[in-house]
Structure 1
Amino acid sequence: MSNAVRKVWGYRYAILFIVWLLYIINYFDRVAVLTFLPFIQKDMNLTPVQVGQIASAFFFAYAVGQVTSGFLADKFGPKRVMNVAIIVFTLVSVVTGFVKNFTQFIALRIGLGLGEAHHFPPSAKAISNWFPYSERGKALSIFNTSNYVGLALVPIILTNLSASLFDGQWRPVFFTLAIPGVIGILLLWLFFKDTPEEMYKKGRISKSELDFINSNKGATLQVTTKGKVNHKTYLKDSTFYVICLMMFCQIGILWGFTTWLSTFLVQQHNFNIKEMGFVSSLPPIISIISILMGGWLMDKFNKMKPIALIAYIGCIPVLWMLGSVNKGNTPMLLTMLLASGFFVAFNSGSLTAALQKRYPSEVVGSVTGIVNGCGQLGAFVTPLVAGYLITVRTGGSFDFTKVFIFFSVLAAIAAVSALFLKEKPVQTNEIVKNAVNNQIV
């Protein structure tokens, strides 16, 4: 096998597959509650505002945990942080099957949020460690498809599991979530290392692949005289704050949309549990194609701004129209759902890749944690605000028109923010020549 072939099919893609699969496991636990939300609401007599609070409690904890997980990944390595995360969110998901009241539900959602928060930044850190600058857009886009594969598969699997094995009940489904959690722990233990250097010592990767990975790390690291990472590299960069705002809007739209989609389909369009499970999977299915397309364009042209503008400008009319589709107009509903899935996801991988390409790998965990934390604050705000914007019609059905207008406004804010992006790698002016531990790339 030639060096060129080994470079394409090296062990770094096994690492990418592992973090991709682990994040799908993460989504089984996360999306389970959202999938059964209209039925949980009915069983526990929850109001729309309480449903919004339950959804938002998760994202508040998730936002806080994103920041700590980034710093922990930089300090202790991705593997340790992800291992603890999987154990925590698996246990919390199983216990959710026993929940009895609103207060318990809030507590469990906070616990789940803290557990799952310590997964994404370490995964992004691992990809930064294992992939050269030239491949990060593609690698991050492939990784980010796990979001949408999870969103596509989980509703179908769990609703069919509930309907065929548990007579339409939702509680027993949560007990089965221990199985994917155990699989994830075993994958990390057996096949994952934080860096290619560690795996090279184990004889799992070739010298040619190691050299290829280290051939181009992108941005240059600024360190202190003691050899420590200088976080001013990104804190003094205005683009960092622009990306934070974009991520707030983008993740806010995604999770506001995802949180309320099953309830929207059941309440506004009268779908049953199996119909809802199938239809709610359509947007993430098209999102898989969309996100890969965006990542490919990112690596080909090395520009994220046009991708972001296409995504956000496309979201504005599509989301606005989706909320006003009349009941019974299924063709229009499906068309708008597919279009929303395309535009909402188009920039997802590219936005994360922009961080990897602009900032040094030594601070990627911290940068990703803070930016994704801002995104999860958006995910905290949007379901909560949506709960207040839902109109309860005579007879108890819901009208989501104002909710989707709100999502369109967020897309417009993101589009304006994208105009101020700078995308070239940060190159610091002060590089200390005697930095220790080979910290300068």
Structure 2
Amino acid sequence: MHSTPATAVPPRIRHRQVISLALLLVSGVINYLDRATLAVANEYIRADLGLSLGEMGLLLSAFAWSYAICQLPVGALVDKIGPRWLLGMGLVVWSLAQAAGGLVSTFGWFVIARIALGIGEAPQFPAAARVVSNWFPARSRGTPTGVFNSASPLGVALAPLLLPPLIAATSWHWAFFATGALGLVMAIVWIALYRDPVRGELDNAERAYLEIDGAEAGGKAAPAAGFAAWRSLFRHRTTWGMMLGFFGSVYLNWVFLTWLPGYLRTERHMELAQAGIAASVPFLCGFAGALIAGWASDRVARHAASPVAGRRNAVVVATLGMVAFTIPAALVESNTVAVACIAVVIFLANASSACAWSLATVAAPPSHVASLGALQNFGGFLGSALAPILTGYIAQASSFVPALLTGAGIAFLGAMCYLFLVVRPIPEQY
């Protein structure tokens, strides 16, 4: 299929696009700062609360399980209620849960706070996918999807830079209080500034821009989102391909996200300071990966046989690249080469994630973009919850080499699920 000449973005639409993406980027960075606070303050919390390594492992995993499970209903809720109010409510819930983490004094209450954090943070990325589908035509959704996905590695990279000085000057409790307060401010800003497009308030040029590539507004209006339609998504192999595929990609990403410092210290025998620097560089590469992938996937999609094929192929290529660079990262003797390979893996992991979320905006029926994106994210975060546990057991029984190779194998299977199961978009049901 040949590309179609680009249509100029009407000024009012451009204004809303910029505001929406800026808000999603900032809220996403806060989202990941809150997730990372526990990891940054790990040793202080263990010493203060007298936690064992096993208890800390359970505490670190509590967030991922509640977050994954909540992806099942939250996408449908975003489609029904809208991203403005659901993300606004999510910001309030997760910020209060984050602040509560600074007040707890027992392991049990800390677990409850982390579970609540996972529940509150669940709407962030499904809502972001809905926002992109609302304000961008299908051919142009890769770049904005890359922007909101870049918040993930950026937040992870900023946490060890911003939080340790605060902890050193006060205590670990204030890292939770400060990030919680930041989220509450962001909730007010989000609700005050974000608006969904209202068809009756758009002029002809604005409607024509948003309806490029067969968007719903030019013809029959999309039906209201409902449970029966949400349940019907499971009848399509595209849904299962995206869930299983994202499981593989996110699993391998979280092997490094949770174990990279420990791997560099244990397996690579790096000094503490050296390992800290080596562990931060790959996530800066991941920030670039999300931005570049979003931009590139738009270019690929415009020349592909279909929007779904173009964005699916971008996910497959990025995921296979993760596999290809994980293998030498596990096997080479040189620490420098290993860290360079890991940086490429995390670059590609965030590229894969950005492309996967942009795939959701074109593979889903218009009324269920957030629902399909959330189901894909549910599969991914099942992988994220299992990755640190399985990696730890394999490394304990043998070494990190088979643990990394296992992650590469799971990611390869995920790429194949995308390639062979995600073939066509899911039709709207009226």
TM-score by length of 1: 0.82
Q: Does 1:319 align with 2:326?
A: yes
Does the CA contact (< 8 Å) of 2:225 and 2:368 recur in 1?
no
Equivalent residues in 2 for 1:271-420, closer than 5 Å: 271-272=271-272, 278-302=277-301, 303-323=310-330, 330-391=335-396, 400-420=400-420
Counterpart Cα distance in 1 of 2:421 and 2:189: 38
Does the CA contact (< 8 Å) of 2:33 and 2:155 recur in 1?
yes
CA deviation after TM superposition for structure 1 residue 226, in Å: 12
Report the equivalent of 1:34.
39
Counterpart Cα distance in 2 of 1:270 and 1:39: 22
Name the one with the larger helix percent: 2
Q: Give ranges in structure 2 of 5+ residues lacking alignment.
A: 1-6, 302-309
Distance 1:228-1:172 versus aligned 2 partners, 3 A rule: closer
Q: Does 1:251 align with 2:250?
A: yes
Match 2:209 to one of 212, 236, 242 = 212
Equivalent residues in 2 for 1:19-418, closer than 5 Å: 19-41=24-46, 44=49, 46-163=51-168, 165-166=169-170, 169-193=171-195, 195-197=196-198, 201=201, 208-216=205-213, 218=215, 230-231=229-230, 234-265=233-264, 269=269, 271-272=271-272, 278-302=277-301, 303-323=310-330, 330-391=335-396, 400-418=400-418
Does the CA contact (< 8 Å) of 1:305 and 1:421 recur in 2?
no
Q: Which amino acid aligns with 2:418?
A: A
Does the CA contact (< 8 Å) of 1:93 and 1:175 recur in 2?
yes
Moved over 6 A (4+): 219-229
Secondary structure in structure 2 of the residue aligned to 1:16? helix
CA deviation after TM superposition for structure 1 residue 173, in Å: 1.8
Secondary structure in structure 2 of the residue aligned to 1:98? coil
Does the CA contact (< 8 Å) of 2:243 and 2:380 recur in 1?
yes
Distance 1:178-1:228 versus aligned 2 partners, 3 A rule: closer
Q: Percent identity?
A: 24
Q: Give ranges in structure 1 of 5+ residues lacking alignment.
A: 394-398, 433-441
Does the CA contact (< 8 Å) of 1:155 and 1:280 recur in 2?
no
Distance 1:344-1:223 versus aligned 2 partners, 3 A rule: closer
Mean Cα displacement is larger for which, 84-93 or 261-270?
A: 261-270
Report the equivalent of 1:438.
none
Report the equivalent of 1:13.
18
Does the CA contact (< 8 Å) of 2:150 and 2:350 recur in 1?
no
Q: Which amino acid aligns with 1:122?
A: A
Mean Cα displacement is larger for which, 36-45 or 248-257?
A: 36-45
CA RMSD of aligned residues (A): 3.3
Secondary structure in structure 1 of the residue aligned to 2:378? helix
Distance 1:225-1:296 versus aligned 2 partners, 3 A rule: closer
Distance 1:392-1:315 versus aligned 2 partners, 3 A rule: same
Does the CA contact (< 8 Å) of 2:322 and 2:348 recur in 1?
yes
Distance 1:151-1:4 versus aligned 2 partners, 3 A rule: same
CA deviation after TM superposition for structure 1 residue 46, in Å: 4.4
Counterpart Cα distance in 2 of 1:225 and 1:119: 21
Counterpart Cα distance in 2 of 1:138 and 1:336: 25
Does the CA contact (< 8 Å) of 1:245 and 1:374 recur in 2?
yes
Report the equivalent of 1:436.
none
